[in-house]
Structure 1
Amino acid sequence: MSKPTILTVDDDPVVSRAITRDLRARYGADYRVVGTTSAAEALAVLGELVLRDRSVALVVSDQRMPAMTGIELLEQVREQVPDAKLLLLTAYADTDVAIRAINDIGLDYYLLKPWDPPGERLYPVTDDLLDDWRRAHPEETSQLRVVGHRWSERSHETKTFLTRNHVPYRWLDVERDEEGGRLAGLAGAGPDDLPLVLVPDGVTLRAPSMLDLADALGLRTRAEQPLYDLCIVGGGPAGLAAAVYAASEGLRTVVVEQHAPGGQAGQSASIENYLGFPKGLSGADLTDRAVAQAGRFGAEMVLARDVVGFETRGPVRAVRFDGSGEIEARSLLIATGVSYRRLEAPGVERLTSRGVYYGASASEARQCEGDEVYVVGAANSAGQAALNFAQHAKRVVLVVRAAALEATMSQYLVARVRAAPNIEVRLRSEVVAAHGEDHLERVTVADRTSGTSEELPASWLFVFIGAQPRTDWLGAEIARDPHGFVVTGQDLATAPYADRWPLARAPYTLETSMPGVFAAGDVRLDSMKRVASAVGEGAMAVYLVHRYLATI
C-alpha cells in the first residue's frame, strides 16, 4: 500500500523547501511529502494523485500567492479531495480571512508564519490533523480485518466498538467484497460465526463478545489495584475530566467504561462550541486527548465491563461487574451519562442495527455514500449528525416533531442545516413505522398537523431522541427521580427525598443520598446536558471527593 501524501505549496522557493523539509523530517517515514511552488502546480499534482487513486492526508498552503490565494486553492482542494486536512500558512494581517475560511471552506487550521521552532509550533498542529485523518481512514494504516455482513447487528456492534476505541481496522463485507467472501470461506465461517475479527498476530475471533475482543486487542479489562481512592463509572466528558483532575492530584483513580470512552459526545462528528477550539473538534478527538491526559497522570481505564451492581462495605464502595469481578474504592463517581431513548414504532425494534441505529459515530457517514438517510431528532447531536451525513449521502431528511428547530438546537447549527443543499427538514413530523425484510427498506413518516402519512424508501435511519439514564444498577440506596436521574446536593432536602440523607452535615453539591458517592454530567438530575458543563462537573466532583475523603 502506497504512503498517503502531504502536499505543500508556497510561491517562495526558499519557504517551500523549508516547509517541505520540516514535514519530511518528522513524517517522511509514514507519508510522501511533495512540495510545489504555485497553486497551478499544486492542483496538477493533486489531479494526478486523484487519478491514480492515491490518498491525500494533508494540504499545506501559503495564503498570499500570485494568481490564486491559498484559501482559493484550498477551496478547490476541498472539492477534489473532501476528506483531506487543510492547513493555511498566513501572516497576522490575514487572520480574519483565515477565521472566515473555517466556516466558508472547512479550513482545519491556520498557522502564522514563521513556524520556527517546528517542534513547538508546526508539529503539534500537524500531529493533531494527521491523527484525525488516520482515525477517519483506518484502512490506510491497519492490518486488523473485520469480515462480516452489512446488516448484521453483531458486525455493527464490533465496528462501533473498534471505532470508538480508536482501533484501526479494515472492513470486508462477505457479500460485497470478494476478499471478504474468500476469507469467510477459508475460515469455514457460517452466519453465526460472523463477524470474523482477524488480528495481525494470527488470532481469529468468531462473533466475539466485546470483552473477548478487548482482551484480544490488549485493551485493559481488569483493574490492577485492590483498592482505589476514586472509582469513576462512565468514561464520558464528566468521567474523563474527573479522572484527569483526580489522578493529577494524586488520587488512585480508575475509570470503568462499558463500551468506549467518550459517551455520546465521543460519537459527535464535530463539537463547535467548546471553548478554545474555533474550528471545533470531533468527539473522537476530544476523547482521545482526554484519555491520553488521564493516562499520563496515572488513571487506569477498564473497558468492556458492564457494571451491574453497587454495594456499601463500611467505608468502601464497591461496583460489581456482569459475570464476575468487582472494584473497591473509598469513593465513587457516577458519570454514566444517558442513552438515546428508543423509538416506539412498528418494525423499528426488529430492524435495529440492520438499518436502524441509535446515535452514530462520525465514521459511519462514509458507509451511506450516495444513499438517502433519515435522522430523527432536533437537538445538537441530531444537527451535527445530519451535517456529517450530508457530506456523503445523496439526501438527508431530518425528521422533527416540533414546529421549529430553534427550540432545541443551537443557532449556529440551525443556520448550517438550513444552508445545506441536500438536507431536508420535515417539521411537525415523526417516523411511525419501519419496513423491510432482512434490513431497513422503507419508513413511514406522519405529518402531525394534517394526520397524513407517506411511506418512503430508506436504507438508513438514525435516531437521536430523548435522554434515558441507565441507573438501575444503583439499587435502592441511591435516590433517583421517576425517570432514573440521580438526585444530588440540595435537591436531597426537598420532597420526596428529604428523608434519604443519613448524616448530620448537609450533602455536598454533587453528592448523592449515599455519602461518598457522587454524580456528575448528564446522569444527574437537572444537569445542563452540554459537554462543557459535564467537564466542569467532573472537575468539581474531585474537589468534593477530597473533602469527603478528609472526613473518613
Structure 2
Amino acid sequence: MRWSAVDIPSPHDLIIIGGGPAGCAAAVMAASVGMRSVLVEPRSLCHTLRRIPALGNVLGFTAGPALADAITADVHRSGLCEVLLSEHAEYLDADENQATVGLASGRRLTAPFAIVATGVRPAHLSETPWISHHSSSHLTTPPLWEADPSALKNRTVLVLGADRPLGTLLRAHPDLPTRLLVLHPAADDYKAEEARHDSRVELIRINHIALEEQQDGTLAATGTTNDGRTGRWPADAAFLNVGSIPATLRGLLATDASGYCPPDRQHPRVLTVGDLRSSRGQRIMIATGSGSEAALHAYYTTRLDQQRPGTPAQSFEAA
C-alpha cells in the first residue's frame, strides 16, 4: 500500500513523529535554520522523561521533569513547529521527492523529509522468553519505574531484568533500605554495571526462571543460573524491569533482526533518531544529538536540491 500524492503544496519542510527529547531537538534545530516542522505526538511532549526522578548523565539537569519542562518550552518558543498532540501516526511512506505520514484521524502530512522519533515502549512479561509463569496464576509484576519506594522499604524484592530504571531508582533513593534480587540474562550485563557496587543489590545472571505465587501471598522464582546451577529466590514482591521494544509504525521503516530501525537502512527521505535506532545507544543526550543532526541533514540536503536545475525553491532561509 502506498499513499497517493497530495496535490496541494505542503506547508511544512519537515515531519517529526514523536515528541520525546529526540523529536523535540529536531524541531528546535529545524527552526534555528528556518525550517517549518510539524510534530506528531499522541500524548504530551517528553511524557516519558517526566517520570525519571534522577538523571546522572545529562548536562545541566538532575531530574527528568525539569528537563522535560525546559525542552517543551524550547519547542514552543521556536515559533516554526506546529505541535499536534493527541494525534497518532499510523503509516509512513516516501517517494523520490517527499515523505508522507498518515494519521489515525485520517489526515495526511507531506514534507520533503520525515524524522521518526517514536522511541521504544516497555516490554511485557509475555514478550520476555526467559521468564515463564503459570497462566492460571493471578501474579502481577508491575514495571519497576512505577514502583512506590514505600513498597520496597525493608523488603526483599525480585527485580526481573537489569534495565536502566534500576540505576535510576538507586540514584533517586540512595538511603532506601531494601534488598533487591536482580535476576537478569547475560544480555543485560552492560546495563547492570551501574548497579553492581550498590550494597542493596544482588545481581544474579540466569538462563531461565519460572515465577510462582506462594501460599502466603509472597512470590518466588525458580530457575537455572548462567553457569548451570539450579536456584530458588523467594521475595515479598516482584517488579518487571526487562527493557523496551522499538515502537515502530506501519509502512516504509526498515528494521534489523532485533526490531530496531538503523538510520543507514532507511529510505533517503526518512531519518530515524533517538532510542528507535538501537538498544545500546539509549541515552537522553545521544537522542537529542541525533534529532538535531537529522534536522541539519534534512536542511543541507534540501539546500543541495535547490541548486539542481528544475528544483523549486524552498521557503526557508538559513538563520
TM-score by length of 1: 0.45
Partners of 1:249 and 1:351 in 2: CA distance: 56
Show the counterpart of 1:252.
Answer: 36
Contact 1:365–1:392 (CA under 8 A) maintained in structure 2: no
Tell me how far 1:333 sits from its aligned partner.
0.2
The answer to whether structure 1 residue 538 and structure 2 residue 279 are counterparts is no
Change (3 A) 1:543 1:359: farther
Partners of 2:222 and 2:113 in 1: CA distance: 48
Tell me how far 1:260 sits from its aligned partner.
4.1
Corresponding residue to 2:76 among 295, 299, 322 = 295
2:258 is paired with a residue whose SS is coil
**4+ aligned runs moved over 6 Å, structure 1:** 348-352
Partners of 2:218 and 2:72 in 1: CA distance: 39
* One-letter amino acid matched to 2:282: K
Between Structure 1 and Structure 2, the one with more helix by share is 1
Show the counterpart of 1:456.
Answer: 234
Corresponding residue to 1:446 among 219, 223, 233 = 223
Tell me how far 1:309 sits from its aligned partner.
0.9
Partners of 2:68 and 2:48 in 1: CA distance: 11
Change (3 A) 1:380 1:404: closer
Partners of 2:105 and 2:144 in 1: CA distance: 27
1:351-366 alignment, distance < 5 Å: 355-358=140-143, 360=145, 364-366=147-149
Corresponding residue to 1:346 among 120, 129, 132 = 132
Tell me how far 1:546 sits from its aligned partner.
0.5
Partners of 2:128 and 2:279 in 1: CA distance: 23
Partners of 2:71 and 2:167 in 1: CA distance: 24
Corresponding residue to 1:548 among 297, 301, 304 = 301
- Residue by residue over 1:408-447, the C-alpha shift from the partner in whole angstroms, topping out at 9 and shown as x without a partner, is 3455x544x23xxxx231322477234459xx95241434
The answer to whether structure 1 residue 480 and structure 2 residue 276 are counterparts is no
Change (3 A) 1:386 1:324: farther
Contact 1:257–1:305 (CA under 8 A) maintained in structure 2: yes
Tell me how far 1:474 sits from its aligned partner.
4.0
Change (3 A) 1:328 1:391: farther
Partners of 1:478 and 1:454 in 2: CA distance: 43
Partners of 1:259 and 1:435 in 2: CA distance: 35
1:346 is paired with a residue whose SS is strand
1:384 is paired with a residue whose SS is helix
- Residue by residue over 1:177-216, the C-alpha shift from the partner in whole angstroms, topping out at 9 and shown as x without a partner, is xxxxxxxxxxxxxxxxxxxxxxxxxxxxxxxxxxxxxxxx
Partners of 2:253 and 2:261 in 1: CA distance: 7
Corresponding residue to 1:427 among 197, 204, 219 = 204
Show the counterpart of 2:64.
Answer: 283
Gaps of 5+ in 1: 1-224, 493-511
Contact 1:383–1:414 (CA under 8 A) maintained in structure 2: no
* One-letter amino acid matched to 1:533: I
| Count of aligned residue pairs for this structure pair | 288
Q: Provide the aligned C-alpha RMSD in A.
A: 3.6
* One-letter amino acid matched to 1:290: I
Tell me how far 1:263 sits from its aligned partner.
6.7
TM-score by length of 2: 0.73
The answer to whether structure 1 residue 529 and structure 2 residue 307 are counterparts is no
* One-letter amino acid matched to 2:16: I
Tell me how far 1:470 sits from its aligned partner.
2.5
Corresponding residue to 2:99 among 292, 317, 323 = 317
Partners of 2:13 and 2:289 in 1: CA distance: 20
Show the counterpart of 1:68.
Answer: none
Structure with greater Cα Rg? 1
Partners of 1:431 and 1:425 in 2: CA distance: 17
Tell me how far 1:545 sits from its aligned partner.
1.0
- Residue by residue over 1:157-190, the C-alpha shift from the partner in whole angstroms, topping out at 9 and shown as x without a partner, is xxxxxxxxxxxxxxxxxxxxxxxxxxxxxxxxxx
2:201 is paired with a residue whose SS is strand
1:118-133 alignment, distance < 5 Å: none
Contact 1:403–1:428 (CA under 8 A) maintained in structure 2: no
The answer to whether structure 1 residue 232 and structure 2 residue 7 are counterparts is no
1:18-37 alignment, distance < 5 Å: none
Partners of 2:287 and 2:212 in 1: CA distance: 38
* One-letter amino acid matched to 1:368: A
Partners of 2:186 and 2:236 in 1: CA distance: 22
Tell me how far 1:320 sits from its aligned partner.
1.9
Partners of 2:57 and 2:140 in 1: CA distance: 30
Tell me how far 1:391 sits from its aligned partner.
5.5
Tell me how far 1:481 sits from its aligned partner.
1.8
Contact 2:33–2:299 (CA under 8 A) maintained in structure 1: no
Show the counterpart of 1:11.
Answer: none
- Residue by residue over 1:115-159, the C-alpha shift from the partner in whole angstroms, topping out at 9 and shown as x without a partner, is xxxxxxxxxxxxxxxxxxxxxxxxxxxxxxxxxxxxxxxxxxxxx
Change (3 A) 1:270 1:297: same
1:428 is paired with a residue whose SS is strand
Larger RCO (alpha carbons 8 Å, 6+ apart)? 2
Show the counterpart of 1:497.
Answer: none
1:270 is paired with a residue whose SS is coil
1:370-449 alignment, distance < 5 Å: 370=153, 372-388=156-172, 394-402=178-186, 407-409=190-192, 413-415=195-197, 417-418=198-199, 423-429=200-206, 432-435=209-212, 441-448=218-225, 449=227
Partners of 2:152 and 2:258 in 1: CA distance: 38
Gaps of 5+ in 2: 1-8, 306-310, 312-319
